[in-house]
C-alpha cells in the first residue's frame, strides 16, 4: 500500500505572475515541485474551479470591493477578484507543472454559494471534498503539502490534513504567500506549527 502523499495546492495560472490573483514569485516553486513529486507514492493536485458568479468574487456583491469581508449565511467571506473560473485559461494548472506524477486532479470551490480554501473541506468545515477518504483508501499515512498560497489554501489544507489524522509536513521552499493583510504569513506559520505540522525544505526530504 502507498503511504506518502504530496498535495500540490492550486498551482494555477491565476495565482502565478500575470494572473488575476497572482502570488509574487508563485511560479518559482514549480521546479522544486517537479523535482520532488516523483518521489511520492501518491500525488494530488488541487485547483480552484469556480463558477462565473462565485460567492468569493467581489463582482458578485453589488457595491463591494476586493479585500472586503461579507457575511454569507453564518460564514464570513473574503472577497477576491474573479479568478480560476471554470474552463478558462486562468483556471488551468501552470504549463510548467509536470503532471506526469499526478494521480488525481481535485476540483474545489465548484459551487456558487460555497468557497473552498482547503483541499479537504469547504469553508463551512463540514462539506468534504472526498480527499481524506481517497488517501485513506490508498493507505496514505503521511501528507506533504506545497503550492499556493501559504497563508490561505496551503494553510487550510495542512490544518485539515492534521485534523483528518495524517502526519503532515509543509514543504517550505515549494510554497509562496500572499501575506495580505501584512503579517498573515507569520500567523499562518504559527497556526500550522501549533497544530503539529512539520516544516522542511526539499533538500531534507527522506
> For residue 147, what are the domain limits?
4-50+89-204
Q: Please name every residue paired with 146 in a beta bridge, in sequence order, or none if there are none.
A: 8
Structural domains counted in the chain: 1
Sequence-distant (≥ 6) Cβ neighbours of residue 22 within 8 angstroms: 14, 15, 16
CA distance 134 to 120: 10
Which one from 16, 84, 146, 153 is the annotated catalytic residue? 153
- Our answer to whether residue 187 is catalytic in this structure is no
Express each pLDDT in 169-200 by its tens digit.
999 999 999 998 889 999 999 999 999 999 99
What's the pLDDT band for 66 if we cut at 50, 70, 90?
A: confident
What's the pLDDT band for 67 if we cut at 50, 70, 90?
A: confident
Residues counted in the chain? 206
Which one from 27, 108, 151, 160 is the annotated catalytic residue? 108
Q: Is residue 153 part of a domain?
A: yes
As a three-state string, the secondary structure of 95-119 is CCCCCCCCCEEEEECCCCCCCCCCC
Q: Is residue 57 part of a domain?
A: no
Question: What is the rounded (10 degree) CA torsion for 61, 66, 69, 74?
Answer: 50
Which one from 10, 27, 82, 160 is the annotated catalytic residue? 10
Whether the pLDDT of residue 72 is over 90: the answer is: no
Over residues 12-22, mean pLDDT: 97
Nearest to 94 by CA among 9, 182, 186, 183: 9
- Our answer to whether residue 10 is catalytic in this structure is yes
Global confidence as pTM: 0.95
Q: Which three three-digit cell numbers place residue 83?
A: 479568478
- Our answer to whether residue 108 is catalytic in this structure is yes
Domain at 39, CATH number? 3.40.50.850
Q: Is residue 65 part of a domain?
A: no
Express each pLDDT in 154-173 by its tens digit.
999 999 999 999 999 999 99
| 37 and 71 Cβ atoms separated by less than 8 Å | no
Amino acid at each position: 500500500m502507498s503511504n506518502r502523499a504530496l498535495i500540490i495546492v492550486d498551482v494555477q495560472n491565476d495565482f502565478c505572475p500575470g494572473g488575476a490573483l497572482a502570488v509574487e514569485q508563485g511560479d518559482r516553486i514549480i521546479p522544486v515541485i517537479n523535482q520532488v513529486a516523483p518521489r511520492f507514492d501518491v500525488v494530488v493536485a488541487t485547483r480552484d474551479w469556480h463558477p462565473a458568479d462565485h460567492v468569493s468574487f467581489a463582482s458578485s456583491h453589488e457595491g463591494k470591493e476586493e479585500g472586503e469581508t461579507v457575511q454569507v449565511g453564518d460564514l464570513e467571506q473574503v472577497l477576491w477578484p474573479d479568478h480560476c473560473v471554470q474552463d478558462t485559461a486562468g483556471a488551468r494548472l501552470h504549463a510548467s507543472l509536470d503532471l506526469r506524477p499526478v494521480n488525481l486532479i481535485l476540483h474545489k470551490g465548484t459551487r456558487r454559494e460555497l468557497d473552498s480554501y482547503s483541499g479537504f473541506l469547504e469553508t463551512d468545515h463540514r462539506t468534504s471534498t472526498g480527499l481524506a477518504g481517497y488517501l485513506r483508501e490508498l493507505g496514505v499515512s503521511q501528507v506533504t503539502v506545497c503550492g499556493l498560497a501559504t497563508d490561505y489554501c496551503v494553510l487550510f489544507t495542512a490544518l485539515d490534513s492534521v485534523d483528518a489524522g495524517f502526519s503532515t509536513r509543509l514543504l517550505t521552499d515549494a510554497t509562496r504567500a500572499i501575506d495580505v493583510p501584512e503579517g498573515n504569513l507569520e500567523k499562518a506559520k504559527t497556526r500550522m506549527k501549533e497544530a503539529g505540522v512539520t516544516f522542511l525544505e526539499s533538500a531534507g526530504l527522506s
